[in-house]
Amino acid sequence: MSLGQPGYCISVGHVRAKANRYNFAIAFFVALGSFTYGFNSAIIGSVIGEPSFYSYFKFEATSAYGGRILGASNGTYAGAGVIGCWTVFWLLDTLGRKRAVQIIALVCIISAALQAGAVHIAMFLVGRCLNGLGVGFINTAIPTYISEISPPAQRGRIVGSHGFIICVSYGVSAWCGLGIYYENNPTIQWRLLLALQIVAPLLLLLGSPFIPESPRWLISNGRNQQGLNVLEKLHANASDPQHIGAREEYVQIKRQIELERSQPSPNIFQLVFSRKYGKRMLYGFYLQAMCQSTGVLVISNYMVLLLGKLGVTGSTPLLLLAVYNSWAAFLNFINALLIDRIGRIRIITIGISGCICCLILVTALNANYTNVGNTNKSGQTAAIFFMFLFVTFYGFGTDVSSYVYCSEIFPTHIRAKGVGWSVSGLFLMTTSKSNPGVCLTEKTNPHDMCILVYTSVAGTAFNSIGWKYYLVFIIVTSLMLPYVVWKFPETKGLSLEEVGALFGDEVALDVTHLTDQEQQELDAAIIGGHALSGAEKYGAALDTKTGTAWESPRDGSEHLEEVA
């Protein structure tokens, strides 16, 4: 099967670069931005479930005016999130990944302060809009940065920290919502929840001076020696005292950037319709859209309401939601550990297939056991079990994997734009006009739904067609999955530069597929200081027609020190 064809899987050859503890520490620290995105997205559900929120701003959630206010809160947040995804590339490409992260953290801090200190509903909505812009920025910037500091063999695990920490933040948000259930001070109830949004971006901003700039951004901007120094620090290990792996990476990155430098840098919408990059833009957006089409956010956001219809009452739904999100975070961690072994497409296929099977069972059980007056505890318990099994498959195979894949299929000069476009699929697929007041009219204490996040028409759908709403997720996801299985190429084990060959790009230097002899000669050239001449002589490009490596000797006499 030829390279770039459906189902083709790269077998990893020589990959020397290896992440060290410093590399992992930087990735997990920067993932405070991931926590910011997840926590800010989830905590608003607790806020709009607090009666004191409505009494302070003097409106009723069930009124027409209240519906417009809550709809505006959702719409401004999600709409600004899409804009953030589509515009953050300017910060990332112009100012650098590090400086962009600092600015984004500051935006998130200001937006949280505006919301927590709001004295008028307009002030709250301005803060909410700015918050959406910030999380749109950050949900693009973090996976972009982490992917660029990660070595090929461990990139899935390291970039996976983004998805893992997002789920951790969902869990923390749920536990905060449960804790606030027992707070009687009306001022503390909703302002404290909003103020907690400041913590993660503030820590990120304070620690950001100590994180390195992306080596790929440095090299693409002519700061070669700094880029090499960062690579050596990130990937230094005892088994490679001469930094051969890092220097191989440096040579490969530099040559690929030189190859791409002559190419134009179109805007996002030109990329979408580009013959060269359109397929990648489609794949990134499609993957994020498919993941959200499982209904994962609908089930999570409306969990308390759904549990109520299954006979769970009091504070127990809040406790189960907190456990549900915490379990999802654990499964995301397992996903990050296994993705580099199993492969991106295979583990996504397992995850989505499991989700579909669980949704079918959840639908059948809800159809029979959510009727008014139904007291069949066995059936209701089974429905809850399969909801947990659903998130088990989603967390194990899908959440982390989708971010990893979208962050590695784009070349350096358009990566920020490509990731931004892909992630916007998440915002667009989970956002539509809704009336949150529909859910609040249920005959239950408003606290019982304090974790709901109104990002879809689910409230209206569950109240009008009930269990039939699940059929939408089953049908759409079942139709979308085959395209991923048959068309999406596997990227496991390849450097970011080599991934381009899967889509027909010319690769300046394919280190992964060098023969042992070529590898030894390249290593010797690097040790001798003639890295570029060695790389030129033994550079290999992937023949996308045959899937084999061919040797392309070229002239070159530059020393590593001279070009750096």
Question: In angstroms, rounded to a whole number, what is the distance separating the alpha carbons of residues 24 and 35?
Answer: 16
Question: In angstroms, rounded to a whole number, what is the distance separating the alpha carbons of residues 301 and 299?
Answer: 6
Most confident of 133-142, 174-183, 363-372, 463-472: 133-142
Q: Are residues 203 and 245 in the same domain?
A: no
Q: Is the pLDDT of residue 556 over 50?
A: no
Question: In angstroms, rounded to a whole number, what is the distance separating the alpha carbons of residues 154 and 158?
Answer: 6
Q: Are residues 278 and 248 in the same domain?
A: no
Quickly count: other Cβ atoms within 10 Å of residue 261's Cβ: 10
- What is the band of 370 on the pLDDT scale with cuts at 50, 70, 90? confident
Mean local confidence (pLDDT), 33-56: 86
| Cα torsion 315, 317, 323, 325: sign | negative
- Residues 6 or more apart in contact with residue 434 via CB below 8 angstroms: 71, 74, 454, 455, 456, 457, 458, 459, 460
Let me know: does 312 contact 388? Beta carbons within 8 Å.
no
Q: Are residues 479 and 527 in the same domain?
A: no
User: Is residue 6 assigned to a domain?
Assistant: no
Domain of 445: which CATH number?
1.20.1250.20
**Structure token digits, residue 275:** 């013959």
Task: Kindly write down the DSSP assignment for every residue of 25-75, as one continuous string.
Answer: HHHHHHTHHHHHHHHHHHHHHHHTT-HHHHHHHT--TTSHHHHHHHHHHHH
Would residue 529 be called left, alpha or beta, if left means φ above 0 and alpha means ψ between -120 and 50 degrees?
Answer: left
Strand, helix or coil for residue 540: strand
Q: Are residues 33 and 163 in the same domain?
A: yes
Question: In angstroms, rounded to a whole number, what is the distance separating the alpha carbons of residues 34 and 30?
Answer: 8
- Listed range (143-157, 328-342, 425-439, 466-480) with the worst mean pLDDT: 425-439
Give the percent of the chain with pLDDT over 70.
Answer: 83
Residue type present at position 468 = K
Q: Are residues 361 and 386 in the same domain?
A: yes
Q: Are residues 248 and 285 in the same domain?
A: no
DSSP code of 433?
-
102-125 residue pLDDT tens: 999 999 999 999 999 999 999 999
Query: Among 448, 469, 487, which residue terminates a domain?
Result: 487
161-172 residue pLDDT tens: 999 999 999 999
Strand, helix or coil for residue 389: helix
Largest CA distance in the chain: 82
- Average pLDDT, whole number, for the chain? 81
Question: In angstroms, rounded to a whole number, what is the distance separating the alpha carbons of residues 193 and 175?
Answer: 11
Most confident of 66-70, 113-117, 316-320: 113-117
Q: Are residues 284 and 433 in the same domain?
A: yes
Quickly count: other Cβ atoms within 10 Å of residue 537's Cβ: 18
Q: Are residues 137 and 253 in the same domain?
A: no
Give the percent of the chain with pLDDT over 90.
Answer: 46
Question: In angstroms, rounded to a whole number, what is the distance separating the alpha carbons of residues 385 and 390?
Answer: 9
User: Is residue 493 assigned to a domain?
Assistant: no
Query: What pLDDT shows up at residue 355?
Result: 96
- Residues 6 or more apart in contact with residue 283 via CB below 8 angstroms: 405, 409, 487, 488
- Range of the structural domain that residue 449 is part of: 23-211+265-487
Q: Are residues 359 and 275 in the same domain?
A: yes
Question: In angstroms, rounded to a whole number, what is the distance separating the alpha carbons of residues 328 and 389?
Answer: 10
